[in-house]
Structure 1
Amino acid sequence: MNRTLTFLSVAVIFAVGLSFQANGAPEPGPSQSVKVHQTRTPIYPSDLNRTGITKGFAAIAFGVDAEGNLIDYLPVAYTHEDFYTSSIDALTRWRFDPALEAGQPRAVVMQMTFNFESSGNVVEMRVGDDVNAQFNRMRPTPEAFRICKLDELDQVPVPVSIVSPSYPEAFLGSRLEGAVTIEFYIDESGDVRLPAVIEQSAGDFAGAAMEAVRQWKFEPPMKEGIPVFAVARQRFSFEPSTEGNVSAVEGPE
């Protein structure tokens, strides 16, 4: 199948070696950022032109570990699966420098949107776009996909295995209290994917919370009786000499 090589538009905010903060905001310096070395640009799927589809997008969540390796990725939304496939084909060929915090490499989760237009064969790549608004503007077709919020499911996913985080021994002497909120995805098999800290109070309790969430397992999220991807968040409260106080899983705002 012949494919036309795409080019970045002049307005694109993504470039070779550009750095981003973990939350998706542009970061002028290398500290606390992931540096992406673009080695391949997504290609506009030529088959879609023949079906009259002239534009669309794919939003992808992905993780980069402390060694700069792409460790996982999943679709957040797309207007056609071919846009997602083309985006993943490019993303999996990129090279990354890991994010740094206080000079130490750390793992991060990012979200990137690839905007496709057949006119001029343009692919525009952005970090942190409002995916829901963009999805609705595109007038979704039967081929479209968007990850579900918990209130869109038949019921809140039922936990199969839940591990409570332990209070860090390093803080026992100070009797420090704190809280951490983790956002994560639940895939069609009920596995937790790409957990990330979105909020934390005083003290570094994130490690204990993340270690626990990675071990969680749910029954598959269901919408209209069909397994789907879902996004959720969990708040953990930590008190001295106790395990993390696990509340109900809440959907993101």
Structure 2
Amino acid sequence: MKLAKTFLHACLLLAATVPSTSGNPGQPFSKYPGLDLQFKVLKLPHFPQSLEEEGYLEGQVRVALDIDYAGELRDWLVLESSHPAFTQSLERVIEDWRFTAPYLNGENKSIVTELGIQFRSEGNVVSMTSVASALNRRFNDLTGYGSRYSGLSSIKDLDTPPYPISQEPPSVPEELIEKYDGSRAVFTFYVDEAGQVRIPVLSQTDGDPDVLMLLAAQDAIAQWRFEPPTQNRKPVKIQLSQTFVFKK
């Protein structure tokens, strides 16, 4: 496979920064309208030959990225894909990507963001964009090719409601709870097909809770486990949110 050494500059729309115990841990939660992030793609995903033979001309994958303040890709999760073969093409190369340390206003930041990857069979073209939008399945639908789209499932479409099998509360010192009594934090996170919590991130606060309280909450969520979610008896991924109210 030919190695494509490509530097890409993407103005990424950030969902939120991720708590970090270093890299200025005192202010890790601000939301930003955009961030200039550079990353090196050593291997580009290829358009699957099997799909070319079936007549597919294009495809898309949307992936969530968790990048720490030093530029390490801590976790990633495919949120949408127009065909499993496109997902597999990305899976084979993404661990080889290298990111610069996210940097804004003189500080390194841990971030969670999304990246869209567009596949085109003509010339085996692969392009990347930070615009997070629903996948376009119109072409395959109109031409009659079988849709193999996969994405996040809605809670209302699950066979059973999400059921936690391990859900320990965060361990927060009493003195912090007394000082920030009544403060609130909301986290969003994904649950994958195995019931594992993936990429928990702070989405909202009220009452200015201390950063150590937020770190404790995020660490607790990362350890939670759920019964594997299913839709029509097939494993699926979902997105959930959890609100913590810190009261003495």
Mark yes or no: TM-score above 0.5: yes
Pick aligned residue for 1:171 from 153, 167, 176: 176
Paired residue type of 1:95: R
1:78 aligns with 2:81: yes
Pick aligned residue for 2:41 from 38, 43, 46: 38
Q: CA deviation at 1:171?
A: 3.2
**Paired residues of 2:35 and 2:104 also in contact (CA < 8 A):** no
Distance 2:52 2:33 in 1: 33
C-alpha distance 127-207 of structure 1, shift in aligned 2 (>3 A): same
C-alpha distance 233-172 of structure 1, shift in aligned 2 (>3 A): closer
Structure-to-structure mapping, 1:1-253, within 5 angstroms: 16-18=8-10, 20=12, 22-23=14-15, 27=34, 34-100=37-103, 105-131=108-134, 134=136, 139=141, 141-168=146-173, 171-172=176-177, 174-201=179-206, 202-203=208-209, 204=211, 205-239=213-247, 241=248
Q: CA deviation at 1:111?
A: 1.6
User: Structure 2-normalised TM-score?
Assistant: 0.76
Q: Which has the higher contact order (CA 8 A, sep 6+)?
A: 2
C-alpha distance 224-100 of structure 1, shift in aligned 2 (>3 A): same
Deviates most, 160-169 or 149-158 = 160-169
1:165 partner SS: coil
Distance 1:237 1:137 in 2: 47
User: Structure 1-normalised TM-score?
Assistant: 0.75
Q: CA deviation at 1:76?
A: 0.9
Distance 2:51 2:3 in 1: 14
Q: CA deviation at 1:89?
A: 2.9
> Over aligned residues, Cα RMSD in angstroms?
3.1
1:184 partner SS: strand
C-alpha distance 219-98 of structure 1, shift in aligned 2 (>3 A): same
Q: CA deviation at 1:184?
A: 1.1
**Paired residues of 1:149 and 1:232 also in contact (CA < 8 A):** no
Paired residue type of 2:220: A
Identity %: 26
Q: CA deviation at 1:64?
A: 1.8
Distance 2:71 2:245 in 1: 31
Distance 1:144 1:175 in 2: 45
Distance 2:81 2:115 in 1: 12
Unaligned stretches of 5+ residues in structure 1 = 9-14, 242-253
C-alpha distance 60-26 of structure 1, shift in aligned 2 (>3 A): same
Greater share of helix residues, 1 or 2? 2
1:44 partner SS: coil
Unaligned stretches of 5+ residues in structure 2 = 17-31
Q: CA deviation at 1:36?
A: 2.0
Distance 1:180 1:56 in 2: 37
Distance 1:28 1:225 in 2: 40
Equivalent pairs, count: 227
C-alpha distance 175-77 of structure 1, shift in aligned 2 (>3 A): closer
**Paired residues of 2:14 and 2:34 also in contact (CA < 8 A):** no
Distance 1:38 1:101 in 2: 22
C-alpha distance 98-5 of structure 1, shift in aligned 2 (>3 A): closer
Q: CA deviation at 1:210?
A: 0.4
Q: CA deviation at 1:58?
A: 1.1
Distance 2:41 2:218 in 1: 29
Distance 1:128 1:170 in 2: 43
